[in-house]
Structure 1
Amino acid sequence: MPVVAVAGGTGKLGRAIVDALNATKQSTVLVLARESSELKEKEIGSKIVAVDYGNVANITEALNIHKVDVLISTVFSVQTNDAELALIEAADRASGKIRFITSSWGIPYTKSMGTRFGPAAHKAEAVAALEKTSLVFSSVHPGYFLDYFCMPKVKSYMDPVTTFIDIQNNIAAIPGSGDTPVVFTHTWDVAKFVAEYVNQPASEWEKDVFIIGDKITMNEFVAIAEEAKGVKFEIFHDSLDKLNKGEVTELPSHPAMYPYFPKTMLQSLFAAFGVFFDNGDFDFNPSKSLHDVFPHTKARTVKEVVNAAWKTE
Structure 2
Amino acid sequence: MILVAGGTGHLGIELVPLLTARGIPVRILTRDPDRARQRLGETPQFAKGDARSPNTLEGALKGVDTVVSAMTGFGPGAPGPKAVDYEGNLNLIRAAAAADVRRFVLVSIHGVTADHAMELWRMKYRAEEALRASQLDWVIVRPNAYMELWAEIVAGPIFKDGKATVFGRGDNPVNFNSAKDVASFVALALFDPDLSRTILSIGGPENLTLNQLVGQAERAAGRKAAVKHVPLPMMRLMSLVMRPLKPDVAAMIQGGIAFDTVDMTFDAGDLRRRFPQIELTRMADVLARQGAATTTPTSAELSH
Query: For the Cα contact (< 8 Å) 1:136–1:205, is it kept in 2?
Result: yes
Name the one with the larger helix percent: 2
Alignment map for 1:159-198 (pairs within 5 Å): 162-163=153-154, 166-167=157-158, 168-198=160-190
Measured after TM superposition, the shift of residue 200 of structure 1 is 0.9
- Structure 2 stretches of 5 or more lacking a match? 74-78, 240-244, 297-304
The aligned residue for residue 3 of structure 2 is: 5
Query: For the Cα contact (< 8 Å) 1:138–1:209, is it kept in 2?
Result: no
Q: Deviations over 1:115-160 (max 9, x none)?
A: xx54333222211222321223333233222223555xxxxxxxxx
Counterpart of 1:299, as a letter, is L
The aligned residue for residue 22 of structure 2 is: 24
Alignment map for 1:183-222 (pairs within 5 Å): 183-201=175-193, 203-212=195-204, 214-222=206-214
Measured after TM superposition, the shift of residue 113 of structure 1 is 3.8
Alignment pair present for 1:130 and 2:135? no
**Number of aligned residue pairs:** 278
* RMSD between superposed Cα atoms in Å: 3.5
CA distance in 2 between counterparts of 1:102 and 1:189 reads: 16
The aligned residue for residue 299 of structure 2 is: none
Measured after TM superposition, the shift of residue 222 of structure 1 is 1.4
CA distance in 2 between counterparts of 1:285 and 1:211 reads: 7
Counterpart of 2:68, as a letter, is I
CA distance in 1 between counterparts of 2:286 and 2:147 reads: 8
Please point out which of 28, 40, 43 is paired with 2:41.
Answer: 43
1:29 and 1:277, CA in 2 relative to 1: closer, same or farther beyond 3 A?
same
1:127 and 1:205, CA in 2 relative to 1: closer, same or farther beyond 3 A?
closer
1:130 and 1:287, CA in 2 relative to 1: closer, same or farther beyond 3 A?
farther
Query: For the Cα contact (< 8 Å) 1:214–1:300, is it kept in 2?
Result: no
1:8 and 1:136, CA in 2 relative to 1: closer, same or farther beyond 3 A?
same
TM-score after normalising by structure 1: 0.73
CA distance in 2 between counterparts of 1:199 and 1:15 reads: 20
Q: Deviations over 1:188-224 (max 9, x none)?
A: 3322332233221155552243132543222211111
1:46 and 1:243, CA in 2 relative to 1: closer, same or farther beyond 3 A?
same
1:52 and 1:237, CA in 2 relative to 1: closer, same or farther beyond 3 A?
closer
Measured after TM superposition, the shift of residue 163 of structure 1 is 4.9
Query: For the Cα contact (< 8 Å) 2:137–2:196, is it kept in 1?
Result: no
Alignment map for 1:1-313 (pairs within 5 Å): 3-10=1-8, 12-25=10-23, 27-34=24-31, 40=37, 43-51=41-49, 53-54=51-52, 56=54, 59-60=57-58, 62-63=60-61, 65-66=62-63, 68-77=64-73, 78-79=79-80, 80-81=83-84, 82-96=87-101, 98-104=102-108, 106-113=109-116, 117-150=118-151, 162-163=153-154, 166-167=157-158, 168-201=160-193, 203-212=195-204, 214-246=206-238, 268-285=250-267, 288-289=270-271, 291-310=272-291
CA distance in 1 between counterparts of 2:219 and 2:155 reads: 17
Percent of residue pairs bearing the same amino acid type: 26
- Structure 1 stretches of 5 or more lacking a match? 152-161, 248-262
1:10 and 1:170, CA in 2 relative to 1: closer, same or farther beyond 3 A?
closer
